[in-house]
């Protein structure tokens, strides 16, 4: 173990769990030598969400050039790698299998170890990767909120008691009972004729809304039982009912749908097609999502008596979420860590970083490594 720990370790990470084909090389679990992400958004956009069959086909097309580019950017040859880390789950089975099969074949051909990585553990490592780049180390134990298009879940993260090289142990504190927060963004965006994915455009429209009048108020979501569970489908339905009760929105929605159809989906193109009522609705929706995410994370931090909150996943890119977390955490003497926007959404650097501690523990996979559609972290 000692001799391994002292040597520089270069891991190639491969990620293909959803609609991003990604590869990255990371040194010692900390320094990103390269990170390449090929997004499939343009392919899935017209369906308003990820189509699994199309995703697998696209991963097949992208995996070889994406890995090749990550290797080229890292300046390393394949033989100089120490291990291959690949996302094992959770995710779309057909998509995961592309990365896993490629990873297995490469590891076998190079005679290097293969490491199966939980995608959610990758998102947690994204926070540490970013903090390390700034020369900071988030203090553990911490509460971690993973919030994306597929997940909204709160964990307690500690150093594993048995670990000599700092691997983590997780306890699940709460999760969404229905939609993930990113999914709610995407569905509301579709209802409003604002395209896919919804998060980035609704985020920017909220910033442009200023203090336009409030067209509708959304109260805090209450969940029976575990107070740290989330629920977003009621909020999405409340938006739907509000739109049905107010046909005044319809003309604008149709104009935006037409614009999207013609390929005009940029913020600058859609903003002039949004009246004050729409901007107010978008702002109130976003405020409600952010309020629920922040309140439950702070409650979890209090329950676990921790001083650190980690936030990761696509929705962690949201500007209001970042601002409200920063403000509330400061008031309560907590520290909140986010990855930068590029490491918040799916990428392979986080997979290579998560593979590093498994490498140090000698936790290697064999040819039987298989995709796991649902793969619990705790
Ligand atoms: O982590 P990710 O890239 O993929 C998975 O779902 O695993 O997250 C994508 C999700 C989408 O639902 C997208 O609408 C949301 O993250 N998203 C955002 C923002 N950027 C992306 N949601 C809110 N605000 C954003 N700025
Ligand atoms: Zn993800």
β-pairing, 10-15 vs 83-89, is parallel
The response to whether residue 186 sits with its C-beta less than 6 Å from ligand 1 reads yes
Between the CA of 309 and the centroid of ligand 2 the distance, in Å, is 18
First to last CA, the chain: 26
Q: What is the pLDDT of residue 2?
A: 42
Helices assigned H by DSSP within the chain:
2-6, 41-44, 52-74, 93-110, 119-133, 181-191, 198-209, 233-245, 250-261, 267-270, 276-304, 319-331, 341-344, 349-360
Q: Which atom of ligand 1 is nearest to the CA of 182?
A: 12
Q: What is the pLDDT confidence band of residue 3, given thresholds at 50, 70 and 90? A: very low
Q: What is the pLDDT of residues 276-329, one digit of tens each?
A: 999 999 999 999 999 999 999 999 999 999 999 999 999 999 999 999 999 999
Predicted local confidence at residue 165, as pLDDT: 62
Ligand 1: which atom is nearest the Cα of residue 185?
Answer: 14
Looking at the predicted structure, is the pLDDT value of residue 222 above 90? no
> In this structure, which residue's CA is closest to atom 2 in ligand 1?
314
Ligand 1, atom 5, residue with closest C-alpha? 149
Given this model, what pLDDT does residue 1 score?
A: 43
User: Is the CB of 118 inside a 6 Å radius of any atom of ligand 1?
Assistant: no
Instruction: Kindly state the average pLDDT of the residues 104-115.
Output: 98
Question: What's the rounded Cα separation, in Å, for the pair 218 and 263?
Answer: 32
DSSP structure string for 115-159 = EEEEHHHHHHHHHHHHHHHTT----SSEEEEEESSS-EEEEEEEE
Distance CA 370, CA 62 (A): 20
**Residue with CA nearest ligand 1 atom 22:** 199
Can you give the pLDDT at residue 48? 82
The protein residue with its alpha carbon nearest to ligand 1, atom 23, reads 199
Instruction: Count other Cβ atoms within 10 Å, centred on residue 254.
Output: 12
Ligand 1 center–CA 183 separation, angstroms: 8
Would you say the CB of residue 148 lies under 6 angstroms from ligand 1? Answer: yes
Residues with CB under 5 A from ligand 2 (ion): 148, 346
């Amino acid at each position: 173990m000692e001799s391994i720990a002292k040597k520089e370790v270069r891991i190639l990470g491969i990620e293909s769990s959803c609609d991003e084909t990604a590869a990255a090389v990371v040194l010692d679990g900390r320094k990103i030598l390269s990170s390449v992400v090929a997004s499939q958004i343009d392919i899935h956009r017209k369906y308003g969400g990820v189509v699994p069959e199309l995703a697998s086909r696209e991963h097949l097309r992208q995996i070889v050039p994406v890995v090749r580019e990550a290797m080229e950017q890292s300046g390393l040859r394949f033989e100089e790698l120490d291990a291959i880390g690949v996302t094992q789950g959770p995710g779309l089975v057909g998509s995961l299998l592309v990365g896993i099969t490629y990873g297995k074949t490469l590891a076998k051909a190079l005679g290097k170890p293969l490491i199966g990585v939980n995608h959610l553990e990758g998102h947690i490592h994204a926070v540490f990767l970013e903090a390390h780049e700034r020369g900071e180390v988030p203090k553990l134990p911490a509460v971690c909120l993973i919030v994306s298009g597929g997940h909204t879940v709160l964990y307690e993260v500690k150093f594993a008691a048995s670990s000599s090289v700092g691997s983590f142990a997780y306890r699940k504190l709460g999760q969404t009972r229905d939609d993930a927060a990113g999914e709610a963004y995407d569905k509301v965006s579709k209802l409003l004729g604002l395209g896919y994915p919804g998060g980035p455009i609704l985020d920017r429209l909220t910033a442009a809304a200023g203090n336009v009048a409030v067209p509708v108020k959304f109260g805090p979501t209450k969940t029976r039982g575990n107070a740290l569970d989330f629920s977003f489908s009621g909020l999405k339905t409340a938006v739907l009912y509000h739109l049905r009760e107010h046909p005044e929105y319809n003309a604008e929605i149709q104009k935006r749908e037409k614009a999207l159809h013609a390929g005009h989906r940029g913020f600058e193109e859609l903003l002039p097609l949004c009246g004050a009522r729409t901007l107010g609705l978008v702002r109130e929706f976003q405020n409600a999502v952010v309020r629920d995410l922040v309140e439950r994370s702070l409650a979890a931090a209090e329950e676990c008596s921790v001083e650190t909150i980690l936030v990761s996943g696509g929705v962690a890119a949201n500007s209001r979420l970042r601002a409200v977390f920063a403000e509330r955490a400061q008031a309560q003497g907590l520290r909140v860590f986010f990855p930068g926007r590029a490491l918040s959404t799916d990428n392979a650097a986080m997979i290579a970083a998560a593979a590093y501690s498994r490498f140090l523990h000698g936790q290697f996979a064999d040819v039987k490594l298989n995709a796991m559609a649902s793969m619990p972290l705790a």
